[in-house]
Amino acid sequence: MLNKKQARLRRARKTRAKIAELKAVRLCVNRTNCHIYAQVISSCGGKVLASASTLDKEVRATVPNGGNKNAAAAIGKLIAERAKAAGIEEVAFDRSGLQYHGRVQVLAEAAREGGLKF
C-alpha cells in the first residue's frame, strides 16, 4: 500500500518519463502550504532556464501571502515572462504528480495567458 507522498511521486515519475520521451522543455511546478514555485527546465541535461517563486523579492512586495491563488496567478505570469525572455515559447506542463486543481490550475492558466503554449 502506497502512502500519499509515494503515490504522488509515482505519478510524477510517470509524467516526467513521458516528457523525457517527447524531449520537451518542461514547466515544473512545486507547491507547499506557504509558497509556490515554477521552473522551466531544459529537455537535455535538466538545466533550469527560468524560474519564479513567491520567495522572489519583487513578488513578495506585490503578494503578501504566497500560499493562495492570487500568488499562483502572479507566478504563472512571471514564469511566462521569464521563459519568453529566454526564448522559450512551448513547454510541457509537469505538475509533479499534483492534481490539476486549485493553485496548480491557476498557475497554468496564468502562464498560458502570459504566452506559453502547452
Domain ranges of the chain: 4-113
pLDDT at 66: 94
3-state secondary structure of 33: coil
Mean pLDDT over the full length of the chain: 96
pTM score of the predicted model: 0.93
Q: What angle do CA 67, 72, 77 make, to 5 degrees?
A: 150
User: What pLDDT digit, counting tens, does each position of 75-118 carry?
Assistant: 999 999 999 999 999 999 999 999 999 999 999 999 999 999 99
Domain 4-113 has CATH 2.60.120.10: no
